[in-house]
Structure 1
Amino acid sequence: MTQPSPRRDVIFLVADAAMEQMLRGFLGRPQFHRSLRCGPFAFDPGADVIVAPTKDPGVYGTAHQLLSPYERSHRRAVVMLDAAWEGSPGSIAIQDRVADSVSRAWDEFAVVVIEPELEAWVWQDNPHVAKALKCPADFREILAKSEHWPLDVPKPPDPKAALEHLRRKHRADRSNAAFRRLAEQISVRHCQDLAFNHLCQQLRAWFPETS
């Protein structure tokens, strides 16, 4: 009798291609688990990522259906979407609705709601940001002068507007590949973003570090 294939570790449902590229960058690093301070687990972008065809509203409304084909092939599910989109009910309502939907079929899952949106993960006062975005090295000063990122705050108040300013005025890369390059290079150990830390904490719980 043919034995069933072993179930894969985690399926990631993401709202768009930019999130997919960010995941590819983080989880495609050599020994990526060491940066995240968790144990190793398998990640294959071709088998372990679903990009929702209807973006954030589709993930919000149909996460359970989108994950349904993977209930037998994967042990755990992570759902990722932005909090800011037209018609959004807010991060708390998104978290509750998606968690309730996914919990009907999955015992182990996480819902990661990025506040306000993925661009919040881009920003660090770090030269790797300029290299990844292909923008001027003094991007921090540029954004301070344009009032997109005041010097006394750790992140731009509107992360997407800050990125769009660099794209419009300073030819920053408009492709989703910029998110992958950024995730391949920036430090994650001191990131204070709540959604990113929630993702890391869940991965550590599922895959504890080994001595």
Structure 2
Amino acid sequence: MKDLVVLVADSNMKAAVQTLIEKRYKSLGICQVQADVLVHPRRDPGIFHEAHIFLQPLRNEYRYALVMFDHEGCGQENRPARQLEQEVKERLEQADWQGRCEVIVLEPELEAWVWSSSPHVPKVLGLTPQKMQQILQRFPQNRLGKPQRPKEAMEECLKEAKIPRSSSIYAELAETVGLQNCVDPNFVKFRQTLQKWFP
């Protein structure tokens, strides 16, 4: 039986999560884990509606299941993310994942994890720190001082640097950016869940 299956909404999320679990497990404060990261073919809405159906056949192959999708684009944006997490988790528990599953709805989306004070962020995005700051100033900030529209901010930076968006960027960010100062509530939940399961 493997340790963990992670169900995610797209290849960018897969690249980030796989890199974090495989290469940054020490920084996450967990032991080495045998994990598979699977992408749902119908992305965020597919995960919201069908995560339990997708994962039920795997219930005897893995000890734990982690489900992650973006709030933005899941078709349920008018409802609180915590409520969606609870709903998907209840369905998973009824599908034989009782006591060994967790759901993280990323608000508004995965790109919220990108924005940290790490010097690696501008480097990976192909910009000087000054140029990146200039671009970020065009975007309203949330209470954590990050852009409220994180995906658009990232796309703007990549456009400026003439770099096409790809999963490898997410993997490189996950591999290089320091994790200790990340206060994003979704990231904290991700780290704490893994620490609880794999101390």
- Aligned partner of 2:93 in structure 1 is 103
Paired with 2:159 and 2:110, the residues of 1 have a C-alpha distance of 19
- Aligned partner of 1:33 in structure 2 is 25
2:13 paired residue among 12, 19, 42: 19
Paired with 1:124 and 1:24, the residues of 2 have a C-alpha distance of 20
TM-score normalised over the length of structure 2: 0.89
Higher mean Cα deviation, 32-41 or 193-202?
Answer: 32-41
Question: Who wins on radius of gyration, i.e. which is larger?
Answer: 1
TM-score normalised over the length of structure 1: 0.85
2:132 is paired with a residue of what secondary structure?
helix
Paired with 1:139 and 1:206, the residues of 2 have a C-alpha distance of 41
Q: Is the 8 A contact 1:84 1:90 kept in 2?
A: no
Aligned length: 195
- Aligned partner of 1:183 in structure 2 is 174
Query: Unaligned regions of 5+ residues in structure 1, if any?
Result: 1-6
- Aligned partner of 1:194 in structure 2 is 185
1:1-211 paired onto structure 2 within 5 Å: 7-29=1-23, 32-43=24-35, 48-85=36-73, 87-88=75-76, 89-104=79-94, 105-107=96-98, 108-145=100-137, 147-148=138-139, 154-208=145-199
* 1:94 Cα deviation after fit: 1.5
* 1:78 Cα deviation after fit: 0.1
1:138 is paired with a residue of what secondary structure?
helix
* 1:153 Cα deviation after fit: 5.4
Q: Is the 8 A contact 2:139 2:148 kept in 1?
A: yes
Paired with 2:67 and 2:131, the residues of 1 have a C-alpha distance of 32
Identity %: 32
Runs of 4+ in 1 over 6 A off after TM superposition: none
Query: Unaligned regions of 5+ residues in structure 2, if any?
Result: none
* 1:96 Cα deviation after fit: 2.0
The 1:111–1:37 alpha-carbon spacing in structure 2 relative to 1, beyond 3 Å, is same
